DNA sequence: ATGGTTGTAAAACAA
């Protein structure tokens, strides 16, 4: 992708923030402490007209691409670097704001996705939401197979694929996010473009690696019933540019937290 | 095994 001889570094973050307006304090803390160049958000829960742009501009993030809607869902990409608006795909064909794709000036595409959670019952005949989730991922597979160019695909995929991506493989086998049919589809998505799972490149299985802990636990850290629902995948042509990766687990303990922790990958091109 | 919490937005619904 980039052809310069000098090394160019880039720090990209992804965070399901569960309402960007409810998280003003902690998103500021995150940006101040970690200084990513690009922040991809999921579940912004705000229409574009009400997006808190001033908060981000004040912190030096002057470029924003928004795909929001009323009440639920919503994604955004916030950046210190200029970017071009590439696409906003609707893999459910129902108008839900779950994707935004941009291209940076160095040519890297960033595709930010919020896969549907899928409801409670892992059976599409009684729970249409589960079927919509499977169909959404299948349409991503069709899209991903045709993609070209250096691409970072990231976001809340709402699937924890590996046994070590959940606190108990056995107890979650029939829980939406870790069922075999979802895992099989997510694996097919990964294979469709030979995506490199950056999380597991830096924290290899079977090491513990979670990005989400339920609000319902009395003490999320003590019970540690986590799942790795959030992912960063790099196209194979530039995967070696990734030089570091972290899940900022501490953010789960900040005041009024999201139930997801932010992920950061650093690149050197 | 069930229930536990949060955000949106004004009663449930989605997660």
B/e letters for A3-30, b = 16+ CB within 10 Å, e = fewer, are eeeeeeebbbbbbbbbebeebeebbeeb
Residue A198 binned pLDDT confidence (cut-offs 50, 70, 90): very high
Name every residue whose Cβ is closer than 8 Å to that of residue A224 and which is 6 or more positions away in sequence.
Answer: A167, A210, A213
Question: Does residue A170 reach within 7 angstroms of strand B, measured from its CB?
Answer: no
More confident residue, A179 or A7: A179
From the CA of A154, how many Å to the C1' of B2? 34
pLDDT in tens, A87-131: 999 999 999 999 999 999 999 999 999 999 999 999 999 999 999
3-state secondary structure of A193: helix
Ordered by start, the domain boundaries in chain A are 4-268
Q: Is the pLDDT of residue A226 over 90?
A: yes
pLDDT in tens, A10-58: 999 999 999 999 999 999 999 999 999 999 999 999 999 999 999 999 9
Question: Does residue A225 reach within 7 angstroms of strand B, measured from its CB?
Answer: no
| Superfamily of domain A4-268, CATH level 4 | Endonuclease/exonuclease/phosphatase (3.60.10.10)
From the CA of A117, how many Å to the C1' of B14? 9
B/e letters for A205-238, b = 16+ CB within 10 Å, e = fewer, are eeeebbbbbeeeeeebeeeebbbbbbbbbbbeeb
From the CA of A215, how many Å to the C1' of B15? 10
Question: Does residue A18 reach within 7 angstroms of strand B, measured from its CB?
Answer: yes
What local confidence, expressed as pLDDT, does residue A4 receive? 56
Tell me whether the omega of the peptide bond preceding residue A41 falls within 30 degrees of 0, making it cis: no
Q: What is the mean pLDDT of chain A?
A: 96
Which residues are bridge partners to A16 per DSSP?
A42
Question: Does residue A22 reach within 7 angstroms of strand B, measured from its CB?
Answer: yes
From the CA of A49, how many Å to the C1' of B12? 26
């Amino acid at each position: 992708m980039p052809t310069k001889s000098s090394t160019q570094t880039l720090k990209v973050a992804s965070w399901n923030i569960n309402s960007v307006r409810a998280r003003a304090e902690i998103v500021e803390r995150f940006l101040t402490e970690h200084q990513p160049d690009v922040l991809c958000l999921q579940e912004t829960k705000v229409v574009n007209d009400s997006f808190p742009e001033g908060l981000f501009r004040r912190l030096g993030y002057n470029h924003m691409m928004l795909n929001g809607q009323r009440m639920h869902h919503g994604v955004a990409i916030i950046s210190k670097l200029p970017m071009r608006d590439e696409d906003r795909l609707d893999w459910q064909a129902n108008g839900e704001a779950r994707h935004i794709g941009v291209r940076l000036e160095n040519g890297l595409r960033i595709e930010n996705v919020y896969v549907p959670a899928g409801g409670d019952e892992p059976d599409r005949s009684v729970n249409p939401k589960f079927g919509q989730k499977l169909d959404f991922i299948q349409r991503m597979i069709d899209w991903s197979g045709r993609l070209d160019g250096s691409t970072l695909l990231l976001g809340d995929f709402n699937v924890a694929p590996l046994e070590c991506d959940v606190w108990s493989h056995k107890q979650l086998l029939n829980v939406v996010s870790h069922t075999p049919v979802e895992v099989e589809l997510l694996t097919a998505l990964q294979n469709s473009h030979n995506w490199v799972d950056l999380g597991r490149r830096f924290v290899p299985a079977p090491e513990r690696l979670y990005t989400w802990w339920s609000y319902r636990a009395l003490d999320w850290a003590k019970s540690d019933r986590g799942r790795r629902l959030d992912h960063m995948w790099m196209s194979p042509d530039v995967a070696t540019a990734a030089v570091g990766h972290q899940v900022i687990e501490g953010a789960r303990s900040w005041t009024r937290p999201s139930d997801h922790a932010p992920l950061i990958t650093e690149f050197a091109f």
